[in-house]
């Protein structure tokens, strides 16, 4: 996984997951697709000054997304993830 520092990094990584999921017919891509749509809306809100503190909102988005992305890539690498993530990723 590439380093994730910005909301654009989050979107690019989600796009990679979606592309791989389509190629491999992996249903885990459905959540990544939804997550990407929400992240794009957050980015638009930041750009349109919808939030009181856009930079803080971007940091929150990145931190929150990294929790999902770290768990996703650990799961895909057959590493141990928490029970809640394991349950979410099972299909």
Question: Tens digit of pLDDT for each residue in 67-84?
Answer: 999 999 999 999 999 999
Q: What is the pTM of this model?
A: 0.92
Q: Name, in order, each residue with C-beta under 8 angstroms of 10's C-beta and a sequence gap of 6 or more.
A: 4, 39, 61, 62, 65, 69
DSSP letter assigned to residue 6: S
Query: In terms of Cα–Cα distance, which of 34, 32, 33, 44 is closest to 7?
Result: 44
Q: Give the pLDDT of residue 65.
A: 96
Residue 2 has pLDDT above 90, yes or no: no
Question: Tens digit of pLDDT for each residue in 31-90?
Answer: 999 999 999 999 999 999 999 999 999 999 999 999 999 999 999 999 999 999 999 998
Q: Name, in order, each residue with C-beta under 8 angstroms of 87's C-beta and a sequence gap of 6 or more.
A: none
Q: How sure is the predictor about 1, in pLDDT bands with cuts at 50, 70 and 90?
A: confident
**d(C-alpha 78, C-alpha 47), whole Å:** 38
19-28 long-range Cβ contacts below 8 angstroms, 24+ apart? 27/91, 28/72, 28/89, 28/91
Domain ranges of the chain: 7-89
């Amino acid at each position: 996984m590439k380093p994730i520092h910005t909301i654009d990094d989050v979107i690019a990584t989600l796009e990679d997951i979606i592309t791989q999921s389509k190629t491999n017919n992996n249903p885990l891509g459905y959540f990544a697709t939804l997550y990407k749509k929400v992240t794009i809306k957050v980015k638009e809100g930041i750009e349109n000054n919808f939030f009181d503190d856009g930079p803080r909102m971007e940091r929150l988005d990145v931190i929150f997304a990294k929790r999902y992305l770290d768990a996703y890539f650990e799961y895909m690498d057959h590493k141990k993830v928490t029970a809640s993530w394991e349950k979410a990723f099972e299909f």
